[in-house]
Amino acid sequence: MNRNEKKALISFLSIYMGSAILLVGVILYTYYNNEVRMLQESCDMELSNASMQVKTDIMNSYMKNEKFVPDKLKSDHIKYALYDKNKKLIYSYLDGKKYVDLSKSIYAKDRFNFYIAVIDEKMIPIKYIVLETCQGSIDKNKLKIYILIVLVMCAIFIGFIAYLLAKILLKPVREKVEHMDKFIKDSAHELNTPITVLMTSVSMLKKGKNPEKMMKYITSSTKQISQIYNDIHFSAFNEMNEDVHQEFDLKDLVSESVDYFNDISITKNIVIEAELESCIILMDRTKTQKIVNNLISNSVKYSNSNSTVNVKIKDNFLCVEDHGIGISEEEQKEIFKRYKRGNNIEGGFGIGLDIVKRICAEYDLIMSLESQIEKGSSFYIDFSSIVVGANCKLETKK
């Protein structure tokens, strides 16, 4: 992962996790406040019930003319104290008695909750019943720990999901960058060969050595450079161009391409032979030229030296056949994808067959491939759907 990808990943994770954790935090904060309110109400209710129990015991004792004997409550976490009318302490189990404020009925101080009940009976010396509990504080602390655990678990889960999403989102971008890097490297390699041949040929031509042969090499190199430029330009800017449909004979166009590539194939001593029937079609001529040129160029590129490439038009079918390295069944599934090359040793960008596939799809042309390893490949394109004329005389060209 390069520096820019790491930066994009960190930015995405920060924004995604920050917003998600903030949302979860707001939900948990609301939940915490509701739970605290319910805990407080429950605590107050429990203290109130306990005060009623103590008050009832006190009144029953004095009604029987018995002295009230303080005892512990059934609830272990609730303690109480008794005060007389002068707010003097009579009896106390309290842990936080120094904080008692008898002027209030319910209040909380530090970790204690207090509830004060009043007995309005003149015959009973006990005036105030103070109940104390720290259970509410304990429950709040447990709730805080629970909320914290939930928040941490949510953060881990959100981080994991965010990382997976980031990897999924960055994958096509990464593949595109890798393809572009590979494309640039292949461009330099692909252009290097014809440029080197061109410079060498010009140098030899200046010295007067074999001028006829050097001129053939110069012609071949310049046509290779032109073909490379045309493929790159078409692949990058074709969306900006409008189609110009016209009727023309596919035989004439293929014949021109055969002549063109015979000058290029001279460096590998490959001969392109053509058997062409007339086939009048209605199509954009530039795009048709791209189909033919890329198929022939691909066949020349992957043919063995001193071999033959056969180009045929018969029954509205264009067939380009080579005798080269062939294409395996696995590669046949991938060969029409952009930047995919049949053999990394050979030149090319891997965009030629992608261009052919795109144009065929645009015009609903049926394309097929037959290939065997070390025997060669044959590409077929059916132009029947756009034929507007009848086929005529068979012409053989070499």
Read off the tokens for 213: 């042969």
CB neighbours (10 Å) of residue 156? 10
Q: Looking at residue 390, what is its pLDDT?
A: 45
The average confidence (pLDDT) of the chain is: 80
- Of 325, 346, 335, the C-alpha closest to 369 is 335
Phi and psi torsions of 71, nearest 5°: -140, 160
Q: Looking at residue 386, what is its pLDDT?
A: 92
Residue 104 has pLDDT above 70, yes or no: yes
Q: Looking at residue 339, what is its pLDDT?
A: 47
Tens of pLDDT, residue by residue over 299-356, are 888 888 889 999 999 999 999 999 888 887 777 776 766 545 444 444 444 567 777 8
pTM: 0.49
Q: How many residues does the chain have?
A: 398
Q: How confident is the model at residue 218 (pLDDT cuts 50, 70, 90)?
A: confident
Q: How confident is the model at residue 238 (pLDDT cuts 50, 70, 90)?
A: low
| 3-class secondary-structure state, position 102 | coil
State the fold for domain 211-397.
Answer: Heat Shock Protein 90 (3.30.565)
Q: What is the mean pLDDT of residues 82-103?
A: 79
Give me the residue spans of the domains in the chain: 3-139, 211-397
CB neighbours (10 Å) of residue 167? 12
DSSP 3-state percent helix, strand, coil across the chain (nearest 5)? 55, 20, 25
Q: Looking at residue 374, what is its pLDDT?
A: 84
Contacts for 122-128 with beta carbons within 8 Å, 24 or more apart?
Answer: 123/62, 124/58, 124/59, 124/62, 125/84, 125/85, 125/90, 126/58, 126/68, 126/82, 126/83, 126/84, 126/90, 127/83, 127/84, 127/85, 127/87, 128/82, 128/83, 128/84, 128/87, 128/102
- The one-letter amino acid code at 41 reads E
Tens of pLDDT, residue by residue over 283-298, are 988 889 888 988 988 8
- The one-letter amino acid code at 312 reads K
Read off the tokens for 3: 């520096």
- The one-letter amino acid code at 207 reads K
Residue 43 has pLDDT above 60, yes or no: yes
Q: Flag the least confident range among 88-92, 196-200, 262-266.
A: 196-200
Read off the tokens for 192: 């290097």
